[in-house]
Amino acid sequence: MTDGLEFNVLAVDCEARAGRLVTAHGGIDTPCFMPVGTSATVKAMTPEMLVKAGAQMVLGNTYHLMLRPGAETVKQMGGLHRLMNWPHPILTDSGGYQIHSLARLRKLNENGVTFKSHIDGSLHQLTPESCMETQSLLGTDIAMALDECTGYPADVEVAEESMNLTTKWALRCREAFVSSPGRGVFGIVQGGMYAHLRQESAAALKKIGFDGYAVGGLSVGESRSERVEMTQVTSSLLPMEKPRYLMGVGKPLDIIDAVECGIDMFDCVLPTRSGRNGQAFTQWGVVNLRNARHKTDQQPLDSHCPCPTCTGYCRAYLHHLVKAREILGAMLLTWHNLYYYQDLMKRLRNAVIGGTFAAVADELRARFSWV
C-alpha cells in the first residue's frame, strides 16, 4: 500500500457514484454513512452491534477526545482503534465545529483558535499544526483539516473572509500532515451559501491537493434547495478520483439528494440521537415509541426490517423500555436506526451499480418525503 488512501470509483450513474475506499484499517463501500462516535463510543452501541448494523467506519470527535481522555492518553493506550475496540476505519473531525458550537470564550485569529473547555473551563489552543498532531496521536485513518465553519446567514464579506482563513489553514494542515500507507487528510470546502465562494474554495483546495474533499458549512439552518445547490456546485468541481464527504448531513432525504450530486460519505447524529429519544425511522415514517398507542402493540417496529430489534422485540416492549427510561430502549432503537441508515446506503449503492439510480431515488424520495 502506498502513502495515502486508495479510492476507486466502481460505477457512475448520472452524477451518483459507487466506490470503494481503502484505509489502513480496511475498506469501506461508498456511498457510506458513518455513525458518530463522539467520545470514543457510538452512544448505546458496542462495536459488535455497529458491525451487525452494517457500519464499516465511524467518526470520532477530536474536540471531545483532546479534552477527555486527552490525545496523549489515547496514544498511550494504543490509539483510538484499540482503546474503543473498533479495529475498522475511523475518521476524526478537526474539532473546529465543536469549538464553534460548544467551547466557551472562543478567540480566533490567523494562527488558530483559543478556547475554554466546556467540561472544566481549562484553556486550550488548536492551530492547523496541532490539529494534525492531535489526530495523528489518536491514530485516525482519515484526518480532517482545521476549518472555520461559516455561520448562517452570513454576508458575502464575512463568508469570504472565513473561507480565506479556511484555505490558509488547509495549506498549513496539508504541510503538517505526515503521510503513511492507508491514512489520509481531507480538505474542507467552505464559502457559505455563495456559489462563487464555494468554487473559489474548491479550486484552492484542489491546488493544494488532498486525499479527499469535504463539503462543510451545510446543515446550519439553510433551506433544502440552498443545501442541494451548494452541494451540487461544490461536488461538480471536485476531482473525480477522490472521495467526497458531506459533513453533518443528514436526514434520509438529504442523503438521497447528496448522493445524486456525487457525494460518497456522510455522518450525522440523527439516527443515534433519535434512538435515544425514543424515535425510530421506519418505512412509514418516524415512529415515536413514547406514544401510548404502542402500549399493547405486539407488532415489530417495522415488519419488513430484518434488524435484531425488529426480529426480536415488539412495539409494546420498546414503548415500555422508553417510558421506563431503561438503557436497553436506547440501545435497541439506536440499533434499528443505524441498520435503517446502512440499508439506505446499500440501496443507493446498488442502484448506482445497477444503473437504476434515478428510478430508485424517486421511489425512495416518495417514501421518505415525511423525514
- Residues acting as catalytic residues: 93, 267
Stretch that binds Zn ion, among 69-77, 152-160, 186-194, 328-336 (CB under 5 A): 328-336
Which residue type, as a one-letter code, is found at position 236? S
Chain mean position to CA 254: 13
Residues 124 and 140: their CA atoms lie apart, in Å, by 21
Q: Does 307 bind Zn ion (CB under 5 A)?
A: yes
Sole binder of Zn ion in the list 149, 246, 256, 310 (CB under 5 A) = 310
Stretch of 147-155, 194-202, 224-232, 334-342 contacting Zn ion, by CB under 5 A: 334-342
Q: Which C-beta is closer to Zn ion: that of 209 or that of 285?
A: 285
Per-residue cell: 89: 476505519
Q: Is 336 in the site for Zn ion (CB under 5 A)?
A: yes
Give me the helices (H) in 156-223, please: 156-176, 195-208
The DSSP secondary structure of 127-160, one letter per residue, reads -HHHHHHHHHHHT-SEEE-------SS--HHHHH
Site for Zn ion contains 348 (CB under 5 A): no
Query: How far is it, in rounded angstroms, from Cα 214 to Cα 34?
Result: 14
- Minimum CB distance to Zn ion smaller for 121 or for 306: 306
Residue 240, all three cell numbers: 473525480
CA dihedral 311→316→320→326, nearest 10 degrees, is 0
Q: Which stretch binds Zn ion (CB under 5 A): 135-143, 218-226, 255-263, 310-318?
A: 310-318
Give dist(CA 342, CA 352) in Å, integer.
16
Q: Is position 305 an interface residue for Zn ion (rule: CB under 5 A)?
A: yes
In the complex, the smallest distance separating the C-beta of residue 267 from Zn ion, rounded to whole angstroms, is 21
CB-nearer residue toward Zn ion: 60 or 329:
329
Residue (170 or 307) nearer to Zn ion, CB: 307
Nearer to Zn ion, 127 or 342 (CB): 342
Residue 103 as a binder of Zn ion (CB under 5 A): the answer is no
Q: Say how many residues touch Zn ion, by CB under 5 A.
A: 5
Chain centroid, CA 70 distance in Å: 22
Task: Please report, as ranges, the residues that interact with Zn ion according to CB under 5 A.
Answer: 305, 307, 309-310, 336
